[in-house]
Amino acid sequence: MIEARHIRYYAFVWPLFWPVLWLNLRWLVAWQKQTRRAVLIRIDRCGNLTIQAMADAPTPGRYNHTPPAFPAWDRPSCWSDLPQNIGNMAQLEAVHAARAGAPRPLDAPMAPLILHDTS
């Protein structure tokens, strides 16, 4: 009837007081199931439990997650601060730099790009 997770506690208690420890641990587990709180306990040689620290009470509505209406990979601009045409802008800058033969400064205005051949 001893739970496996509680076996280590019996090493600190005199064998005469093992029934007291067993009863106190059962009460503690029942209380934890009811309140869903984690505790830090101290056990003395006589099997008495002392609560040293206790976690805050959980709030049931705090961790609700509402999934988005559409996945992030369908519309990446909705999930970031980047503009929707970031892919097009990067492509245009790469083409402009390739045509100019040298990288342009970041503060220089971008010239209009004509994609058809005019020759």
Over the stretch 65-101, which tens digit does the pLDDT of each residue have?
777 776 766 666 565 665 656 656 666 666 666 666 6
Does the pLDDT of residue 63 top 60, yes or no? yes
Q: State in Å, rounded, how far the first CA of the chain is from the last one.
A: 91
pTM, 2 dp: 0.48
Find the mean pLDDT for residues 32-57: 91
Phi, psi of 8 (to 5 degrees): -65, -25
CB 52 within 8 A of CB 41: yes
Does the pLDDT of residue 13 top 80, yes or no? yes
CB 47 within 8 A of CB 41: no
The pLDDT of residue 19: 94
Tokens of 113: 């790009």
